[in-house]
Structure 1
Amino acid sequence: MSTAHSYATGAEREQAEAYFSDLLSYSLERLSKEPELLRADQDQLRRQAQEATKTHYRAFIAAAEGLESTRAELEAVSCHLDALAADLPALSWACDTFTQSAAQFAAKRSENKQLLKQHPVLLELLEVPQLMDACVRNGNYDDALDLRAFVAKMALLHADLKIVQQLVAEVEAASEAMLAGLMAKLRGPIQLPECLRIVGCLRRLAPFPEPELRRRFLQCREEWLAELVRELDDTNVYEYVKRLTDVHRLQLFDVVMQFRAIFSDDSSAQQTVAGASSGIGTESRDGGAVYSWAQHRLVFYLETLAGVLPRIGEGGSLASVLEHCMYCGMSLGRVGLDFRGLLVPLFEAQVLRLYANSVKAATDMFVMLLDVHKWVAMPAVAARVRQAGNTADPSTPKGDDCAGPPYALLEHAPLAVLTNGLLAAFNELRHCTPLSLCSSVAAILQEALEGAVRVMAHYRATRALEDSNLVHFEAACAAMTGSVVPYIAACFGRIYPGHGKLLDVRRATAALNAPPQVLEEGTPQPALSDTSALTSASC
């Protein structure tokens, strides 16, 4: 509107300038007539305007109405403009907020687009914990450790990301499960290659320092060995001892070799072997944890062996067990665990106890049979003895060198029983005959023979026998002193060659060779039912 007004003013100014230019060119007479001319033009224009008004009154009315409507609308627009001006600050703030939100949304959209592009990589990354767990369950520990190292590297680079922190937590949980699985494998039957692999995985996993790792390794192997021992059936003591020995021989050897191969600073170059007094390898200069553990296991083995050996009642079984144990000690000697020197006292005590029990059983049976025996002639037995004596091989040595018991003992049942019992004791002893027990065995046998002779001397002094019975009894006494005791002494000499002088035959038969009055003046003789005087030796 203001622009149209300016245009109109310019046109009028040009007309005015043109009019004034014309006035300057008029004459005076023309100038004097100019007011009347202007007044006539004005009247004419007024008449034209009136006529135009009359002719076009409707247009003027419409124009007036339009002007009024325009004025009202302009007033409304002015009100709206005022309201708009009042709301412009809020609109400006809203636009700023929208601009910021739009920028954030644009950034998120850009991130989502980038995420969409990297979706396969992110999917693989999120599957790392599940993949590691699957590797652990399938025993692929090397792959699991590679995944763990990958996540650890990522945690160093992106420690502030929550997804990385979550991955680290899940991988650590899988690492705990892997550690439990590795330790469980160490508690089972494993060979050296598998053992090396497991310990290598533990070193990469690094849950323990090196000294603690060695202790854990030995602890797991100890649990495995203890479990094997617990599973052994001790119903048959002979089989139990052999299996117990085999378990320690195999497992101790394997564990020591595994430990040497894995932890090389405990190698045999720094190890020494103890003397025969201990039989166990000493610890190495750098600690020797494996030998401390091996000593503990051998002490347990020897204590268990000492507890079950008394249950073995046969010399052959005892000799077989000794041979098995000695082989175990020799085998473990290759790794510095030769304990054979510690076996000697255990088996010596058992051999001596077994022999003493056999001798005591023989003398007890002799005393019991002597108390109830009837001293009467047995023609059938005597004829058989004479026939055996006539058909005997002349080349068979006589006296102490006779390999078999005297046939004359068949006429005297108590002496035959005593001889058989003592021979049975010798049969048990010959399977396992320690030279160090020569004196002890001789003492037990000497005491048993002296006791048997004293019992017969006491029987002769305290029993009133008829003449016929007395003849047979005296024959039995003569057989005791002339056949039984020398024969038993000869058998002892065969078991311990060169030590036959340890048995004093004269002292053993002195009680029957002495006159009866000497016996009566001496110490009181034991009753027939008193068997404790026959053998007093103990292990």
Structure 2
Amino acid sequence: MDPETENVVKLISPGNIPDNWQENPDFLNYISKLGSYGVEQLVKEPDHLSEEAAAILEQTQELAFTNYKTFIQTAECSREIFRQFENTEARLDDLVRKLPEFAERCRRFGRASGDVGRRRRLNSLTLTRSARLLEVLELPQLAETCVSDGRYEEALELAAHARRLGARHGQIPVVAGIARDVEAARLGMVHRLLSQLRSSDLQLPACLQAVGLLRRSGLLSEAELRLKFLQARDAWLQGLLAGVPSDDANQHLSKTIELTRIHLFNIVTQYRAIFSDEDPIMPSSKEQNVNEVLIFYSWLTEKVSQFLAALEQDLPRVGSGSLDSLLGQCMYFGLSLGRVGADFRGLAAPPFVRAAERNFERAVRGAAARLEGDLRAFALAGCPGAPPRAAPQPSQQDGPPRSLLEFPPLAEYCNGLAGAFNELRLCAPAPAARECTRALQASLRAAAGAARALHRREQQALAPAGREQLARLCAALGGELAPYAQRCLHAVFPPAAVARHLGLTAQQLQREGVTYLNQTEILAPISHLLPVTTELPPVTNMVSGEDGDQKNHAPAEVMPELNK
């Protein structure tokens, strides 16, 4: 609108004119037309406008009357259109609210579609390389099959391949799982090899192969491998020893010595062939201060200690007649182990010494106990008189005194001592001389005590003949039986040999009472019963030949008729 038109508008209508009129072309044309009117026309213009408005109103009313149906339909259509526009606007608002969620879902669908595409490509690639993937996936099953079939070399190769795969592609879960399963199969192979070492008598080649496979497995260090080998072989040896019947102590100990000697020496031989102790010890960073040499010698010391403990346990139940053979087996066993630096013969001797002492002491104590029982039932009045005694012949002095036949209890006691010496003679270690001397002296003193008890019991009812018989019994005990026991003791333990063993002289042996009986102490209980005129031979006499040299005669049993 130009400035002149605006001035005209302000003159016509000083008030505000609606904005929509200012831009209306009809309004602007009408204003321009008014500007071209004269005064008369301007004066007439209001009437003209009133007439024209009345005509238009009349026409409008006529039009409305004529077309009222159309107006009604138009109003209804307008109202319906307005309602539909409102509904459309509400739906558009709802659509606007849901558009962000729809856009997010579209983005997620796009990402999922991309993942599906990648997976499809991976599946296609997997399908094209399925043969190689199948080989990798079957590694655990193949390793287990190799281990169960005993093909340990192939199992180790598969384990090495699986470790390389795990180191290269360990971030892939499937590959990591395959590596774990193959590692478990390798561990199972180690357990099978150790079980094989524990459960069978393997020769050296088989042991070399098993230990080589264990070393190649890499699961055990050198010290652990040595320890596991010794533990496995020891478990097998202990199983053998546990299967030995223990009813008969002699058979049990003999079989134990034999099995231990054979198999322990085999284990030692196998160990020294498999593991070299000649190389300098070079401890690794994981095993500081591990002396691998001491593992073997500690184990071997333990085995020797266990064997000596078995000796200590079984020897008390073994008879004297078997000690000699068992001692020979032990000495041979110790000699064989001496070749590997484990000679234990010095440790095996004391149990046999104690067993010999124990058996001899039990035998002579039993003989003394039987003598006490026999003398309690012995009647002096019923004994026949003794024939005059002739001088003993040299040949008779080596055997039991025949004068003991006058007194059956003494003869039985002499037989008991002779039997004890016969058993001791088979295995008579020199260190047992002191205890055997003590046991024999205690037995002879107990025999003298039994004779004194007989005198106390019978002294009130003894006749002169009975007193004479009792005096002869005591004289036979002190003058015949005790010297015979001394000769037997020197025959089993020659003083010269015992003195050399102990590093003493014969005089020192006699002073200390080793292999020499104390006659005074033995006969002290019956000293008052011995005949005054009887000269007893010294109990320390030894069996001598014509040249004065000692004879090592074994004691002979009393003649069989003494047992009747």
Same fold by TM-score greater than 0.5: yes
Task: Map 1:123-272; keep pairs closer than 5 Å.
Answer: 123-189=134-200, 190-265=202-277
Q: Kindly indicate whether the alpha-carbon contact (under 8 Å) linking 1:159 and 1:165 is maintained by their aligned counterparts in 2.
A: yes
Aligned to 1:415, which of 385, 410, 418?
410
| Aligned residue identity for 1:297 | K
**What is the CA–CA distance in structure 1 between the aligned matches of 2:490 and 2:203, rounded to whole Å?**
51
Q: Kindly indicate whether the alpha-carbon contact (under 8 Å) linking 2:441 and 2:522 is maintained by their aligned counterparts in 1.
A: no
- CA 1:437–1:118: 2 relative to 1, 3 Å: same
The match for 1:77 is none
Aligned to 2:440, which of 440, 445, 451?
445
- CA 1:142–1:429: 2 relative to 1, 3 Å: same
| Aligned residue identity for 2:491 | R
Is 1:328 equivalent to 2:333 in the alignment? yes
| Aligned residue identity for 2:401 | P
**What is the CA–CA distance in structure 1 between the aligned matches of 2:233 and 2:168, rounded to whole Å?**
40
Shift of 1:434: 0.6
Is 1:302 equivalent to 2:308 in the alignment? yes
CA deviation profile, 1:172-193 (whole Å, cap 9, x unmatched): 2212222221222232233322
- CA 1:412–1:159: 2 relative to 1, 3 Å: same
Shift of 1:162: 4.1
**What is the CA–CA distance in structure 2 between the aligned matches of 1:219 and 1:209, rounded to whole Å?**
15
Structure 2: state its 5+ residue gaps: 1-101, 282-289, 497-505, 533-564
- CA 1:170–1:515: 2 relative to 1, 3 Å: closer
Shift of 1:110: 6.8
The match for 2:294 is 288
CA deviation profile, 1:448-486 (whole Å, cap 9, x unmatched): 223323432453366331233334333333332333222
* 3-state SS in 2 of match to 1:233: coil
The match for 1:469 is 466
Q: Kindly indicate whether the alpha-carbon contact (under 8 Å) linking 2:449 and 2:526 is maintained by their aligned counterparts in 1.
A: no
Is 1:429 equivalent to 2:424 in the alignment? yes
Q: Kindly indicate whether the alpha-carbon contact (under 8 Å) linking 1:266 and 1:288 is maintained by their aligned counterparts in 2.
A: no
Identity of aligned residues (%): 34
**What is the CA–CA distance in structure 1 between the aligned matches of 2:140 and 2:439, rounded to whole Å?**
76
TM-score by length of 2: 0.62
**What is the CA–CA distance in structure 1 between the aligned matches of 2:141 and 2:432, rounded to whole Å?**
69
TM-score by length of 1: 0.65
- CA 1:117–1:477: 2 relative to 1, 3 Å: same
- CA 1:103–1:219: 2 relative to 1, 3 Å: closer
Q: Kindly indicate whether the alpha-carbon contact (under 8 Å) linking 2:437 and 2:517 is maintained by their aligned counterparts in 1.
A: no
Q: Kindly indicate whether the alpha-carbon contact (under 8 Å) linking 1:369 and 1:414 is maintained by their aligned counterparts in 2.
A: yes
**What is the CA–CA distance in structure 2 between the aligned matches of 1:503 and 1:420, rounded to whole Å?**
21
Q: Kindly indicate whether the alpha-carbon contact (under 8 Å) linking 1:446 and 1:503 is maintained by their aligned counterparts in 2.
A: no
The match for 2:350 is 345
Further displaced range: 118-127 or 171-180: 118-127
Task: State the aligned residue count.
Answer: 398
**What is the CA–CA distance in structure 2 between the aligned matches of 1:201 and 1:296, rounded to whole Å?**
27
Is 1:485 equivalent to 2:498 in the alignment? no
- CA 1:504–1:104: 2 relative to 1, 3 Å: closer
Shift of 1:376: 4.4
**What is the CA–CA distance in structure 2 between the aligned matches of 1:103 and 1:296, rounded to whole Å?**
68
* 3-state SS in 2 of match to 1:182: helix
Is 1:363 equivalent to 2:360 in the alignment? no
- CA 1:135–1:370: 2 relative to 1, 3 Å: same
- CA 1:101–1:354: 2 relative to 1, 3 Å: same
Shift of 1:316: 1.2
CA deviation profile, 1:173-227 (whole Å, cap 9, x unmatched): 2122222212222322333222222222222211132222222333333333333
**What is the CA–CA distance in structure 2 between the aligned matches of 1:213 and 1:155, rounded to whole Å?**
26
- CA 1:103–1:343: 2 relative to 1, 3 Å: closer
| Aligned residue identity for 1:292 | S
**What is the CA–CA distance in structure 2 between the aligned matches of 1:446 and 1:455, rounded to whole Å?**
14
Shift of 1:239: 1.6
Is 1:122 equivalent to 2:138 in the alignment? no
**What is the CA–CA distance in structure 2 between the aligned matches of 1:353 and 1:338, rounded to whole Å?**
26
- CA 1:126–1:413: 2 relative to 1, 3 Å: same
Q: Kindly indicate whether the alpha-carbon contact (under 8 Å) linking 2:425 and 2:492 is maintained by their aligned counterparts in 1.
A: yes
Further displaced range: 295-304 or 360-369: 295-304
| Aligned residue identity for 1:300 | Q
Q: Kindly indicate whether the alpha-carbon contact (under 8 Å) linking 2:277 and 2:293 is maintained by their aligned counterparts in 1.
A: no
**What is the CA–CA distance in structure 2 between the aligned matches of 1:128 and 1:286, rounded to whole Å?**
36
Q: Kindly indicate whether the alpha-carbon contact (under 8 Å) linking 2:371 and 2:450 is maintained by their aligned counterparts in 1.
A: no
* 3-state SS in 1 of match to 2:486: helix
Shift of 1:146: 0.9
| Aligned residue identity for 2:237 | L
Shift of 1:103: 12
**What is the CA–CA distance in structure 2 between the aligned matches of 1:104 and 1:450, rounded to whole Å?**
110
CA deviation profile, 1:137-192 (whole Å, cap 9, x unmatched): 12111110011112222333434444422321221221222222122223223332
